Amino acid sequence: MEKINFIFLITVILRAVYCLDNGLGITPQMGWNTWNKFQCNINEQLIKDSIDALNSSGLIEIGYKYINLDDCWQSDRDENGTIIPDPKAFPNGIKPLVDYAHSKGLLFGLYSDAGIKTCAGRPGSLGYEKIDANTYAEWGIDYLKYDNCFNNNTSSKERYPKMSQALMETKRPIFYSICQWGEEEVATWAKEYGNSWRTTGDISDNWNSMLRNIDLNDKWYSYAGKGGWNDPDMLEVGNGGMTWTEYKTHFSLWAISKAPLIIGCDITKMDNETKEILTNTEVIAINQDKLGKQGKKIKSTPITLPEDYEPKLTESELEVVDCNGKNEQKWYIGEDSSIKNNNQDLCMEIPNCVDYDTKVKTKSCHIGDKSYCSESKNQMWVYSSENKTIHSYMNPSKCLDIYNSQGPSVQTYPCDGGESQKWEYDTNSHTLKTKGKCLASLVSSEVTEVWAGNLENQAYAVLLLNRGSMNATAEITWKEIGYNGKNAELRDLWAKTDLGVSQNGYKTTLKPHDCVFLKVTPSEDNKNFNFIVFIIVISIFLFIVIVVLLIVFYMRRKQGNVTGPANIGSKLVEESRNEDKE
């Protein structure tokens, strides 16, 4: 790990000058959001019940203070341009819900979009920034998640600052969450305008999607800090797509990365395992540590695999990648209109049967099951060997498309005949190729990793992780995390157990997808030694500065360029005598 040095301190100071000054986001935000679990299936009663659940479950006492209403709460605008809540879902409007949340000690958040429409097709805020900001302030809104759909291909650097300015002009402290998907290197400039910024596309409730998002987020670790945080999207803990072990790892990665902890499950029906993860105060303390420095991946070690090893294919999002002939790149187009990954029980589908543009994924096949959404038509596709297009059977106007014409993500998008929608199907290799790349499902890397970060009081957070599909050993030395001492006290944050003093490092065997999360605290002897070294270094530095100044002063005086104190006094006396003579 890098040590704090002069250049780093100067960088921090410069960034502090150019950051949003609304007094919010001193630590990463914590709360709950409707989207991951409910999407557009929201209403007034659901929000009230969730407000009550945040209180009764004790989540608010731990720090989950924001209750955020995502897309689909809007319906239209009136003749003055003021946004109108959906009268069916929210017959009493938004203000009563805000007041109810405030009465329970919570803060209330809303969603809008820096485009003409939201991602679900509701009215966006592009061109209505001041009107909407004033409306939110009048309602008592405390948080705004601002999305990026239907943006007229206008630069984010033009659209997002406008809403930032509009919010500031209301004089109400409103947390500004920039949901811009990581485009235009958003982490490098967003801190001037927002309190957090998405560094990724949307997360899905599976292991591979979760890991992909945290990997993308890790690239920007140096830009996070007090007042502004990297955001790899909301938590999926409790939604059912991963195991308890995987959710524990998911929560640990978000915690050490200083990511926002925004719950995305149904908190009115949390089971004990979900609650155990979300209420681990020791893990949360890492996320909320006052030093405010994002941890990062510092080590990745390949796992030794059998020669005949083939990664297991699981539910996953899709990407276009370099062709390698492996199973994750093999596709079988069936007579039932399915497209199966390696001819296994994993079908390409439009998640949740949504009718807006969305990332495509594989999921257990259910074609023919009329009880499934859209009678399972979301897993049915039509491949045209003539036009080289793949369009949705559920919505024929939507085609399989490379996101933003570059990828790597794959999505549904209105069919336009463009090159990003041309797919060549090879019946021999069973590959779907476009622009020289192959369509592939995501597979987990067979590696162990170590993530680490600095904490206040000279402590460290260390996460050892097995990303692979078999048991593996992970280890770390204290020198690798930037600690030059020998002895350190260890605390296992999930076992909630002190492990005693460890010399030089730590080593453990991990089951697949499991992790060990440690707080590493230098022993008192090392702390005292480090303090003495610090005093010595500062003393030497000051001594050198004084000596250099004296030498410069002496040389310049010798050359007649510097007037010393004695000469100054003589000159003053001489000038006084001259004045008396006159």
DSSP code, position 304: P
| Helix, strand, coil share of the chain (percent; to 5) | 35, 25, 40
> Between 95-103 and 44-56, two packed helices, what is the crossing angle to 10 degrees?
10
Strand partners, 520: 460, 490
DSSP code, position 2: P
The helix/strand/coil state of 412 is strand
DSSP code, position 303: P
Task: Please enumerate in sequence order all residues whose Cβ is within 8 A of that of 335, keeping only pairs 6 or more positions apart, or say none.
Answer: none
Which listed residue (71, 142, 202, 401) is catalytic? 202
Tokens encoding 207:
């292991």
Which listed residue (70, 71, 147, 218) is catalytic? 147
Task: Note whether 22 and 137 are within 8 A (CB).
Answer: no
Closest CA to 349 of 357, 358, 341, 360: 360
Is 202 considered catalytic here? yes
Sign for the pseudo-dihedral over CA of 182, 184, 189, 195: negative
Is 147 considered catalytic here? yes
Task: Please enumerate in sequence order all residues whose Cβ is within 8 A of that of 100, keeping only pairs 6 or more positions apart, or say none.
Answer: 48, 51
Burial class (CB in 10 A: 0-12, 13-18, 19+), 410: buried
DSSP code, position 150: S
Catalytic residues: 147, 202
